[in-house]
Amino acid sequence: MERKKRIVIAKPGLDGHDRGAKVVARSLADAGFEVIYTGKFQTPEQIVSTAIQENADGIGVSILSGAHLTMFKRIMDLLRKENADDIVLFGGGIIMDDDIPKLKEMGVAEIFTPGTSTSKIVEFVREI
C-alpha cells in the first residue's frame, strides 16, 4: 500500500490572515493527503523543523504580508542546510507577478495567486 503524501501547510511571519491556508489544508485533506497545519505566526525554522519531523513530501506556505521573497528564501536555505531540499516548497497569497520568476529561480516549485481553484492546487500536489 502506497503511503499518503504528507504536506505541511504553514503561515510564516506576523500575518494573521489564515483563511486561505485553512481552505487549502482542508482541500488537500479531502483529496486524501495527510496534512499538517502549523498554525499562524511560524518562523521559517519552525516550518522546516516540522516538515523534517513529519517526513513531509511538501511544504505549502501562505503569505499575504509582502515578505514572500525573504520568507521563501529563508525556508529554501534551511531546507538545503538540513539536506532536506527534496521536500517540495510551494505557496500562495498576495504575490506580485514580477516576483514569481524570482521565487521559482530560488527553488520554489509553484506559486498560486488569489483566485486559483483548489482543484488546481490538489492536482499540483498529486504530481509532486
pLDDT at 42: 92
Spatial contact of 58 and 79, defined as CB atoms under 8 Å apart? no
pLDDT at 18: 83
Residue 1 pLDDT > 70: no
Q: Which CATH architecture has domain 6-127?
A: 3-Layer(aba) Sandwich (3.40)
pLDDT at 20: 86
Residue 38 pLDDT > 80: yes
The tally of CA atoms less than 13 A away on the side-chain side of residue 12 is 25
- Give backbone dihedrals phi and psi of 10, rounded to 5 degrees, phi first: -135, 150
Q: What does the alpha-carbon distance between residue 88 and residue 125 come to, in Å, rounded to a whole number?
A: 9
Q: Mean pLDDT of all residues in the chain?
A: 93
**Residue range 29-48: average pLDDT?**
95
Residue 65 pLDDT > 80: no
Residue 69 binned pLDDT confidence (cut-offs 50, 70, 90): very high
